[in-house]
């Protein structure tokens, strides 16, 4: 990507001034980033994979020798039993540098090729640079990557270090950091003492340089909060800052930031004073969190019940407005008694007894039908729906929507009494 902004142009020009990796750094990296191994054959021949020197083991006791020293290059070696000839190791290596007021994090890709009998070859290329200004503003200089979806760290060696849009591949976890480290004074001023608290150096530096709240968290040793808010979240540090300040003032260290934030949310829900140390600095955070969580759960259950009750009352009103003039309708042939369902509870009972959906599908809200229960001696037999337009039975259903032996008798009884329904309609 071509540098566009003034800042990007400055980074590109400074990047060109950076010294390449020195020989001393390279030697250090070679020694500290890789395993150093001796290949052992079954006949006891040992080969140093660093310098290529071969020698014969004095006494061949298999499994007894785990490491040895190369008589040629004096390197401590781990013995591996294999007939393999070629070995490759790949690692990343990190250097903390300073350049014209910028904190620069440099990442080198290292590859060690070993071949039995030859001295090892080391390949080293710089792949990523993070440039961080004293105000936390940052840019990435990196090589381009191959198009592989799976191997995102396959670098394109024909490309140059250029300004690049941030990508996962630029967040490198190196195996080692060069021990001579340089830092800009601003990171030390803002609380950096050498510990990144499990964050990447880039995230860590950008946070303490760009956000004074993060700087305060670090300096007041609220490390868990610091880590918690280093990641983008729906609720930011500003949402809790007033309460956090109370904790800091009371020397209360928050050991579990996400639990504490949830707890503060619960306190707010119950209108508790989140500026009072009594609430925001509990001696037993987990116990208090759980206590309020159960309290909220109980509240929600009650609220649901209340809402349900309110809905039933509302429906009851609509039902009555629609059907009150038909209440009390009842027909009988001596054996069967067909009576209108005249409350929502009545629909509920009918649905429960006959195991169908007359209640769940809210038949009581249908404006153009009436629902009756056909019973014998108080026992519910079938449910009957009658059209208010035709005054004819639309459906009659027994337990689990099955017809009973009284099915036809019920329909005929209702249809015969249709004139009683019509009479009510004129009221």
Q: How far is the CB of 70 from Zn ion (least distance, A)?
A: 3
Taking contact as CB under 5 A, which single stretch among the options 47-55, 243-251, 361-369, 380-388 is the one that binds Zn ion?
47-55
Taking contact as CB under 5 A, which single stretch among the options 44-52, 135-143, 229-237, 300-308 is the one that binds Zn ion?
44-52
- Going by C-alpha positions, the residue among 306, 240, 230 that lies closest to residue 267 is 240
- Measure the CA dihedral 13/14/20/25, to 10°: -160
Query: Chain centroid to CA 44: how far?
Result: 53
* Cβ contact 290:282 at 8 Å: no
Which residue in this structure is represented by tokens 């909220």? Answer: 296
Taking contact as CB under 5 A, which single stretch among the options 43-51, 199-207, 264-272, 419-427 is the one that binds Zn ion?
43-51
Give the contacts of 365 (CB within 8 A, at least 6 positions apart). Answer: 315, 318, 319, 322
Q: How far is the CB of 114 from Zn ion (least distance, A)?
A: 11
Nearer to Zn ion, 115 or 407 (CB): 115
- Measure the CA dihedral 262/263/266/272, to 10°: -140
* Cβ contact 161:142 at 8 Å: yes
Q: DSSP per residue over 96-156, as a string?
A: EEEETTEEEEEEEEEEEEEETTS--EEEEEEEEEEEE-TTS-EEEEE--B-S-SS-TT-B-
Contact between 118 and Zn ion per CB under 5 A: no
Q: How far is the CB of 48 from Zn ion (least distance, A)?
A: 3
Considering only residues 53 to 82 of the shown chain, the ones binding Zn ion according to CB under 5 A are 53, 70, 72-73
Contact between 51 and Zn ion per CB under 5 A: yes
What is residue 321's three-state secondary structure? helix
Q: How far is the CB of 120 from Zn ion (least distance, A)?
A: 9
Cα gap 73→382, rounded to integer Å: 98
Nearer to Zn ion, 8 or 72 (CB): 72
Nearer to Zn ion, 22 or 69 (CB): 69
Nearer to Zn ion, 50 or 211 (CB): 50
Nearer to Zn ion, 53 or 137 (CB): 53
- CA–CA–CA angle 53, 58, 63 (5° rounding): 95
Q: How far is the CB of 91 from Zn ion (least distance, A)?
A: 20
Contact between 48 and Zn ion per CB under 5 A: yes
Contact between 14 and Zn ion per CB under 5 A: no
Q: How far is the CB of 204 from Zn ion (least distance, A)?
A: 39
Taking contact as CB under 5 A, which single stretch among the options 5-13, 18-26, 42-50, 142-150 is the one that binds Zn ion?
42-50
Q: How far is the CB of 31 from Zn ion (least distance, A)?
A: 12
* Residues binding Zn ion (CB under 5 A): 48, 50-51, 53, 70, 72-73
């Amino acid at each position: 990507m071509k540098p566009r902004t003034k800042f990007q142009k400055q980074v590109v020009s400074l990047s060109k001034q950076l010294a390449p990796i020195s020989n001393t750094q390279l030697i250090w990296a070679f020694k500290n980033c890789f395993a150093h191994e001796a290949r052992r054959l079954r006949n006891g021949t040992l080969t140093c994979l660093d310098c290529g020197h071969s020698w014969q083991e004095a006494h061949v006791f298999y499994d007894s020798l785990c490491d040895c020293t190369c008589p040629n290059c004096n390197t401590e070696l781990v013995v591996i039993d294999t007939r393999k000839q070629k070995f490759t190791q790949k690692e990343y290596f990190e250097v903390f540098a300073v350049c014209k007021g910028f904190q620069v994090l440099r990442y080198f890709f290292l590859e060690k090729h070993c071949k039995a009998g030859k001295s090892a070859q080391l390949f080293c290329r710089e792949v990523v640079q993070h440039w961080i200004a004293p105000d936390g503003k940052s840019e990435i200089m990196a090589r381009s990557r191959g198009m592989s979806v799976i191997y995102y760290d396959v670098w394109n060696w024909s490309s140059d270090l250029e300004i690049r849009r941030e990508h996962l591949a630029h967040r490198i976890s190196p195996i080692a950091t060069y021990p001579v480290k340089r830092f800009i004074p601003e990171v030390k001023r803002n609380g950096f003492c050498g510990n990144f608290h499990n964050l990447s150096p880039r995230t860590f530096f950008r946070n303490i340089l760009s956000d004074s709240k993060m700087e305060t968290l670090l300096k007041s040793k609220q490390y868990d909060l610091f880590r918690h808010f280093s990641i983008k979240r729906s609720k930011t540090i500003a949402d809790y800052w007033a309460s956090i300040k109370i904790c800091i003032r009371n020397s209360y260290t928050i050991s579990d930031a996400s639990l504490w934030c949830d707890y503060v949310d619960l306190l707010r829900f119950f209108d508790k004073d989140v500026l009072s140390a009594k609430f925001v600095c509990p001696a037993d955070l987990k116990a208090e969190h759980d206590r309020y969580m159960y309290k909220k759960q109980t509240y929600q259950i009650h609220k649901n019940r209340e809402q349900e009750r309110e809905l039933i009352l509302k429906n009851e009103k609509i039902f009555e407005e629609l059907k009150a003039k038909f209440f009390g309708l009842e027909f009988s042939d001596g054996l069967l008694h067909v009576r209108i369902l005249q409350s929502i509870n009545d629909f509920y009972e009918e649905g429960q007894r006959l195991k169908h959906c007359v209640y769940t599908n809210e038949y009581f809200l249908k404006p153009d039908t009436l629902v009756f229960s056909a019973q014998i001696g108080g026992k519910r037999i079938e449910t009957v729906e009658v059209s208010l337009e035709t005054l004819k039975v639309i459906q009659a259903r027994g337990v689990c929507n099955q017809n009973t032996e009284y099915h036809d008798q019920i329909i005929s009884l209702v249809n015969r009494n249709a004139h009683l329904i019509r009479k009510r309609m004129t009221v």
